[in-house]
Amino acid sequence: MKILLRIAFVAASLGAASAAPCRELPGKWMLSIENPGHHAVATVAVEFTDEVAPSCMGGEWKVVKVVSATTGDKTFFPVSDPLSCRIENGQLTIGRNEVCDAYLWLQGPLVGASVQGSYFSLGLGGSSPLGYFTLRRARPQ
Protein backbone atom coordinates (compact mmCIF):
# COMPACT_ATOMS: atom_id res chain seq x y z
CA MET A 1 0.00 0.00 0.00
CA LYS A 2 2.81 2.40 0.91
CA ILE A 3 4.52 1.84 -2.43
CA LEU A 4 1.26 2.59 -4.28
CA LEU A 5 0.94 5.90 -2.43
CA ARG A 6 4.51 6.82 -3.39
CA ILE A 7 3.88 5.93 -7.04
CA ALA A 8 0.68 7.99 -7.03
CA PHE A 9 2.53 10.94 -5.48
CA VAL A 10 5.29 10.87 -8.08
CA ALA A 11 2.80 10.42 -10.92
CA ALA A 12 0.79 13.41 -9.69
CA SER A 13 4.00 15.44 -9.45
CA LEU A 14 4.87 14.66 -13.06
CA GLY A 15 1.59 15.93 -14.49
CA ALA A 16 1.17 19.49 -15.62
CA ALA A 17 -2.60 19.69 -15.96
CA SER A 18 -3.14 23.06 -14.36
CA ALA A 19 0.31 24.51 -13.91
CA ALA A 20 0.77 28.23 -13.33
CA PRO A 21 3.96 30.22 -13.87
CA CYS A 22 6.06 31.13 -10.85
CA ARG A 23 6.07 34.71 -12.14
CA GLU A 24 2.77 34.97 -10.26
CA LEU A 25 5.09 35.60 -7.30
CA PRO A 26 6.75 38.91 -8.29
CA GLY A 27 9.38 40.64 -6.21
CA LYS A 28 11.46 39.35 -3.33
CA TRP A 29 10.23 36.66 -0.94
CA MET A 30 11.58 35.46 2.41
CA LEU A 31 11.82 31.73 2.90
CA SER A 32 12.29 30.24 6.37
CA ILE A 33 13.14 26.53 6.54
CA GLU A 34 12.57 24.83 9.89
CA ASN A 35 13.64 21.54 11.41
CA PRO A 36 11.04 19.06 12.72
CA GLY A 37 10.95 20.99 16.03
CA HIS A 38 9.91 24.18 14.13
CA HIS A 39 13.24 25.96 14.79
CA ALA A 40 14.42 28.04 11.82
CA VAL A 41 17.64 26.60 10.40
CA ALA A 42 17.87 28.65 7.19
CA THR A 43 16.50 31.98 6.03
CA VAL A 44 16.68 32.66 2.31
CA ALA A 45 15.66 35.70 0.26
CA VAL A 46 14.50 34.51 -3.17
CA GLU A 47 13.08 35.84 -6.41
CA PHE A 48 10.98 33.72 -8.76
CA THR A 49 11.85 33.92 -12.46
CA ASP A 50 10.26 32.78 -15.69
CA GLU A 51 13.53 31.18 -16.83
CA VAL A 52 13.21 27.45 -17.59
CA ALA A 53 15.15 25.36 -15.08
CA PRO A 54 16.87 22.06 -15.85
CA SER A 55 15.31 19.23 -13.87
CA CYS A 56 15.45 15.46 -13.60
CA MET A 57 11.82 15.64 -12.45
CA GLY A 58 9.14 15.88 -15.12
CA GLY A 59 7.02 18.96 -15.58
CA GLU A 60 7.85 22.59 -16.23
CA TRP A 61 10.19 24.08 -13.63
CA LYS A 62 11.36 27.69 -13.37
CA VAL A 63 14.56 29.05 -11.83
CA VAL A 64 14.44 30.36 -8.27
CA LYS A 65 17.11 33.00 -7.75
CA VAL A 66 18.70 33.05 -4.28
CA VAL A 67 19.32 36.70 -3.38
CA SER A 68 20.82 36.03 0.07
CA ALA A 69 20.92 33.20 2.56
CA THR A 70 21.72 32.64 6.21
CA THR A 71 21.96 29.11 7.56
CA GLY A 72 22.98 27.44 10.78
CA ASP A 73 23.58 24.11 9.00
CA LYS A 74 24.71 24.08 5.36
CA THR A 75 23.69 20.42 4.98
CA PHE A 76 20.08 20.94 6.15
CA PHE A 77 18.82 22.85 3.10
CA PRO A 78 20.79 23.32 -0.15
CA VAL A 79 20.92 27.14 -0.29
CA SER A 80 23.93 27.00 -2.63
CA ASP A 81 22.43 24.40 -5.03
CA PRO A 82 20.29 25.46 -8.02
CA LEU A 83 16.62 25.70 -6.98
CA SER A 84 13.52 25.65 -9.14
CA CYS A 85 9.79 26.00 -8.65
CA ARG A 86 6.40 25.33 -10.10
CA ILE A 87 2.83 26.09 -9.14
CA GLU A 88 0.31 23.39 -9.87
CA ASN A 89 -3.29 23.05 -8.70
CA GLY A 90 -2.73 25.87 -6.16
CA GLN A 91 0.31 24.09 -4.72
CA LEU A 92 3.77 25.69 -4.74
CA THR A 93 6.79 23.40 -4.95
CA ILE A 94 10.33 24.72 -4.57
CA GLY A 95 13.08 22.19 -4.88
CA ARG A 96 16.50 20.94 -5.70
CA ASN A 97 15.62 19.09 -8.88
CA GLU A 98 18.93 18.74 -10.68
CA VAL A 99 20.22 15.94 -8.45
CA CYS A 100 18.31 12.99 -9.89
CA ASP A 101 16.52 10.73 -7.41
CA ALA A 102 17.72 12.86 -4.48
CA TYR A 103 15.16 15.64 -4.63
CA LEU A 104 14.65 18.06 -1.74
CA TRP A 105 11.27 19.77 -1.88
CA LEU A 106 9.35 22.48 -0.08
CA GLN A 107 5.68 22.09 -0.86
CA GLY A 108 2.53 23.82 0.34
CA PRO A 109 -0.68 25.57 -0.75
CA LEU A 110 -0.31 29.04 -2.23
CA VAL A 111 -2.62 31.33 -0.27
CA GLY A 112 -2.30 35.03 -1.02
CA ALA A 113 1.05 36.43 0.00
CA SER A 114 2.24 33.42 1.98
CA VAL A 115 2.83 29.69 1.83
CA GLN A 116 3.32 27.22 4.66
CA GLY A 117 4.14 23.61 4.11
CA SER A 118 6.44 20.65 4.43
CA TYR A 119 10.11 20.13 3.67
CA PHE A 120 10.92 16.58 2.55
CA SER A 121 13.24 14.44 0.48
CA LEU A 122 11.99 12.40 -2.43
CA GLY A 123 13.82 9.67 -4.29
CA LEU A 124 13.74 6.04 -5.34
CA GLY A 125 13.55 4.99 -1.68
CA GLY A 126 10.36 7.02 -1.16
CA SER A 127 9.91 10.27 0.71
CA SER A 128 11.11 11.35 4.15
CA PRO A 129 9.92 14.36 6.16
CA LEU A 130 12.72 16.80 7.03
CA GLY A 131 10.86 19.78 8.48
CA TYR A 132 8.68 22.73 7.52
CA PHE A 133 8.86 26.04 5.70
CA THR A 134 7.18 29.41 5.49
CA LEU A 135 7.37 31.73 2.49
CA ARG A 136 6.27 35.37 2.79
CA ARG A 137 6.50 38.35 0.49
CA ALA A 138 9.39 40.54 1.64
CA ARG A 139 8.51 44.00 2.86
CA PRO A 140 9.61 46.81 0.55
CA GLN A 141 12.59 48.75 1.90
- Reported as a pLDDT band with limits 50, 70 and 90, residue 115 is very high
Give the CA radius of gyration of the chain. 14
Residue 101 phi, psi dihedral angles, 5° rounding: 60, 20
- Of 107, 77, 81, 100, nearest to 13 by C-alpha is 107
pLDDT tens-digit profile of 5-40?
A: 333 344 444 444 455 667 678 999 999 999 999 999
Does residue 88 sit in helix, strand or coil?
Answer: strand
Average pLDDT over residues 98-115: 91
